[in-house]
Each structure stands twice: as C-alpha cells, then as structure tokens.
Amino acid sequence: MSRAYNFSAGPATLPEAVLRQAQAEMLEWNGAGASIVEISHRGPEFIQVAREAEADLRTLMSIPDDYAVLFLAGGATVQQALIALNFANPGQAADYVVTGHWGKTAIKQVKPYVDARIVANGEAGGFRDIPPRGAWQLSADAAYVHYTANETIHGVEFRGIPDVDTAPLFADFSSSIAAEPLDVSRFGLIYAGAQKNLGPVGVTVVIVRRDLLERAGQPRADIFTYRSHVQGESMLNTPPTWNWYLAGLVFKWMLAEGGVTEFSRRNARKSAMLYDVIDGSGGFYRNEVAPDARSRMNVPFFLHEPALDATFLKQAAEAGLIALKGHRVLGGMRASIYNAMPEAGVQALVAFMRDFQQRNG
C-alpha cells in the first residue's frame, strides 16, 4: 500500500496512526466481542468512549467548565439553522460578518427565522480580505454576532478574535478548530464539522456557554433543542458512533503529539513554506488573498497560465500529491494543510511546484 499526500479540503486526510488503530480495532473493539460500530451507544463501553472524547477535547482546547460540549450529526450547515432556532426570538436581529462562501451559506440557513443583518461584507473585493473591524455596523439589539473563522474556499482566515461586546459571539470553526490556542471564553458558541481538523465526516462539535441554553428561542421540535442534547449527553437520538470514536482517537493523537500549541507551530511552518514558494515564483503561481488574512489551513493558488492546470494536476497525482483541484467557485488549485497533513507532505508539494515551474516556466 502506498498512501498519497491528500490535500483535500474535506473530508480531509486523517493521521495514519489513527487509521491503523481503527483498522486494528475494527472487527472487535476492546474485548467487547463486536466492533465499535455494532455495540449500543447506551452501553457502558461506548459511554466510556464518549466521555473520554469529551474530556480529551476539553483538555486539548482548554474548554471551561461553564461550556457544554456536544457531538452531533448533521454537519455545520445544520448548526447554522439551529443556532437561530435556539438563541433568537422569531424575527429578532442577528448580525453576520461575511468573508466568503460559507459566511453566505450561514445567512441562507437563518433567513426564515431571524432578521439576518450583514454588518460587514468582503464580497465587493472578491473575498480577498477581511473587512476592518472599525467598519462593522453592529446592531444594538442583535441576538448574537456570527462569523466564519476560516473560509475553506476563499482561503481567508481571521487572525485573532474580533471584539464584539454588543452580543454573544458565535463562530464557525469547521476548518480551523484546534489549529492554534483559542480563548473559548470569548465566545458564546463555537461549532465545527469534524471532517477537516478533528476527525471524519459525520460528526459535528458544538461548544456552547451554558447560560445561553436558557434562552427560549423559537418554536421547534425537541430534537432541534441544544439544551435537550446537553441533558441527553449528545445521545438524544442514536449518534454517529463510529465517527465519534474516530474523532476521539484524533484527540488522543493530538494530545500525544504535543497538543494545540505544537500544532500551531507546525501549521505556521507548513503555510509559510507554501506561501513562500508561491510568492517567490515571479508570478508563475499567485495567491490573491491579502497577506494579513491568508489562511493557514486552505491555500488557494493559480497558475499564470490556466491551460497548464490539467497538466499540473495530472503530474501532481503521479507524484503522490492528490486533491489539489480548486473549488468550482474559484477554479485554480487549493492545498488544504490541516493538522493531520505532515510537514513532509507540504515539503513534497513545494518541491513539485518548483520543479513544475522549471519545466513549464
């Protein structure tokens, strides 16, 4: 078996050590006589898995006790609708900062429920930068302020937490969670699909300040109520047990590797390597995002001649570098270099890019 370096934006590469452990435990988990995907989610074996996963994530991200942690199905887009149902009154204002495709998606999900106000928007500039905080037009009566910490498609990332003292701060961290230390106490709610930085597709992490769970929100079924999921320890209905278990293995792997602080160092080195080869190519490659807003997780780039795109992708795949095609919204290339992407993978990509330029420049 020869594993390629997988630069997919999501589902994304997982640590090989985690995959090997899951492979070894697939037929029979921990002497239970059955696979982890076959045992009851309400049995003592899986409850222990779930509790360890939560404890490890709390340690990894330094999550305070006054925040609840949920592991839910449905993906981040579902959470975008649920936060309006749970935390805003019908028709109440909610402020949204839009810095890319997923910020726009978040508004689409809540429009039936709230007065979604775009208080800052980077679309006029092609989502190549983050609107300056001083230009944000925040509402005095907003239920919350929402932003997308890292835009997977456009490659724009907030470097730091915006100060919004008018309402609780909610954030989509799907593609940058646990990429660097984060002061969770600055937020009312954080949500993230696991399939980029925390584990496999199919499970979403929600971190919510407990006092916010007392908000009445809007008429909804109990299954759509965060408070009920907290009371049910994320088992109000049958959870995605395999995905939850795999995410737990990723948490343990990250802690063993040195935790979020160590991954922050690695992510800085990896992204610097990639941006250096792009910026030093004399225009053969280009990244159009403002340097201060460049993502460490998703690096979109373009070749000076689009006719070379197909050749680049074909030869990259032959070199063991896969999933580099850019999103259809932008085209070009995109390298997603999440926590599980080893530095050797980025080194291999950088070497290929230099060689490709020499042969085609």
**Active site residue ranges:** 102, 172, 196
CA distance readout (Å), 337 to 125, 257, 295, 302, 349: 25, 17, 10, 17, 11
Give the HSE-up count for residue 210: Cα atoms under 13 Å, Cβ half-sphere.
9
Burial class, 319, CB count within 10 angstroms (exposed 0-12 / middle 13-18 / buried 19+)? middle
- Answer for the pair 170, 188: CB distance below 8 angstroms, yes or no: yes
**Residue 54's closest CA among 340, 252, 200, 263?**
252
- In this structure, the strands spanning 156-157 and 204-209 are unpaired
Q: Could you identify the residue written with the tokens 């934006």?
A: 9
Query: What's CA 342's distance to the chain center, in Å?
Result: 18
CA distance readout (Å), 59 to 46, 125, 198, 239: 20, 39, 14, 22
| C-alpha–C-alpha distance, residues 297 and 231, integer Å | 34
